[in-house]
Chain A
């Protein structure tokens, strides 16, 4: 089959790779119809993961048709149209039974890698290195789906592929930021990042009753899109004093809930130079998490900061003093999609949750390298490139 493979730092190519195969009785094989880029891919693309190997297939947000099922799969049949949660989780362990699927004890077949990096292994993720399972990614014609009854969800007929593909990760990540941030009626919510997750956090906050939602970014086209599709207010962080503005818009208190939806992908106004990147990596220096720092600074006393962005290692200059003295609650996590995807698909079917505008660039898989270049550089107004393997 054809697949988009990582070839080295900032190098991708579409190549012929072996078809996936059923490896466990609970597996199924999905023929991919849509597979989206994600900001979490960018550190991988840039070669900042020591565990990615040349030839690994990227991609973890996808939708497709069931092509083959293992003998223990009960909920799906060949031909079903399904969206697959980006997190691989068993559905049976203590964490899964509490809705914390991304923390699954049994979703990573090589747990020693994550244990070394983070203390305990976590659930798996498609198209990521061995620290999260090493499962082959979805930018391909076919994907193996472990624990298929737990991670794959039949898409309602009325929901289009272009809408439902975002139920794989971006929509549950957005919902998680708002729900676990404990957004409630009357709240002022500030969201750093107007990408897909940031915009879907804004929609979720509104659905959960927030009084005022403010989205912060530096890309004008993303800010305009957030205003048009989520009804949020926006701030361009290079053109205003964000903290002062948020204080003014929240009665001097600061936002009740601050959600960081940027991650290590787009943390500042200029990309690091080659020398900085080299020195940083050689010295093991952490990422400068500007948005996290600003969220902590802006948040009201006793409020909640939720970190949705993808980080894999260390960050510099984290303001722990402000967290402590203001009595903040700091939460984070990879999305526990299995917990929310059925609800999100229902909301999509009722037209309460609209996502298709986020797919600003729909491309055949063969144009994957160009799609990632657009996405990485935020060029041509790109919010998400979505690939169609047989397009």
Chain B
């Protein structure tokens, strides 16, 4: 049986760090988990998620601060894309920490979702601007 990872272009795999994902530790001795993987499933093949191994725009500000992993999602659901702070640290270094604040998990998850949206729909959905963000209108 061909290992799942072989389905990806070799250059793409080489461009990514490939650490163990959730490997090894049992729940009983796990304790608090620093640097938990954040994962989204993108309903597209891997070649469209990171074309040519390049990081899409929403992820680029985190280059050098996070590691990525991707693999085919079961049931033909596309590709699972995961990220966590580099080296499994609970916080991110340098400018990334400034961007992320105290909750890198939420920030990473939000970033992955924006990648997913961009790949699936061609753009990232923007919220309506609230009245306070816009020029005042006499009421």
State the A residues within 8 Å of B (CB).
15-18, 20-21, 23-26, 55, 72, 90-94, 97, 105-112, 133-136, 144, 146-147
Q: Which residues of A contact B137 (CB under 8 A)?
A: 16-18
Residues in B with CB closer than 8 Å to A111 are: 110, 113
Residues of chain B lying within 8 A (CB to CB) of residue A90: 117, 120-121, 125
Report whether A106 and B138 are in contact in the complex, using a CB–CB cutoff of 8 Å: no
A-B pairs with beta carbons under 8 A, tally: 76
Q: Which 5 A-B pairs rank lowest in CB-CB distance, beginning with the nearest?
A: A109-B127, A23-B126, A94-B43, A92-B120, A106-B117
Interchain CA distance A108-B114 in the complex, whole Å: 11
**A162 CA to B91 CA, complexed, in Å:** 56
Interface SS majority for chain B: loop
Q: Is the pair A97, B125 in contact by a Cβ cutoff of 8 Å?
A: no
Contact of B139 with A16 in the complex, beta carbons under 8 Å? yes
In the complex where A106-B125, A109-B127 touch, is A94 in contact with B134 (Cβ < 8 A)?
A: no
6 contacts between A and B (CB under 8 A): A24-B126, A55-B131, A106-B116, A109-B126, A111-B110, A147-B121
Given the known A-B contacts A16-B138, A93-B43, A94-B78, are A109 and B125 also in contact in the complex, defined by CB atoms under 8 Å? yes
| A17-B131, A90-B117 known, 17 other contacts, Cβ within 8 Å | A16-B139, A18-B129, A20-B128, A23-B126, A23-B129, A24-B125, A25-B123, A26-B122, A72-B123, A90-B121, A105-B116, A106-B125, A109-B126, A111-B110, A111-B113, A133-B127, A135-B127
Give the distance to chain B from A47, nearest Cβ to Cβ, in Å. Answer: 19
How many positions in chain B have a CB within 8 Å of any CB in the partner chain?
25
- What is the CB-to-nearest-CB distance from A244 to chain B, in angstroms, rounded to a whole number? 46
In the assembled complex, which residues on chain B have CB atoms less than 8 Å from the CB atom of A144? 128
Instruction: Find chain A residues with CB under 8 A from B77 CB.
Output: 94
A134 and B123 contact, Cβ closer than 8 Å, known pairs A16-B137, A92-B43, A97-B43: no
What distance in Å separates the Cβ of A64 from its nearest Cβ neighbour in chain B? Answer: 17
**Alpha-carbon separation in the docked complex, A26 to B129 (Å):** 16
Residues of A within 8 A of B126 (CB): 23-24, 109
Return B63 CB to nearest CB of chain A, in Å: 23
Complex Cα distance A135/B138, Å?
22
A contact residues around B7 at 8 Å (CB):
none
Instruction: Say how far A17's CB is from chain B's closest CB, in angstroms.
Output: 6
Q: How far is the CA of A21 from the CA of B138 in the complex (A)?
A: 18
By the criterion CB–CB under 8 Å, are B127 and A18 in contact?
Answer: no
Q: Which residues of A contact B110 (CB under 8 A)?
A: 111-112
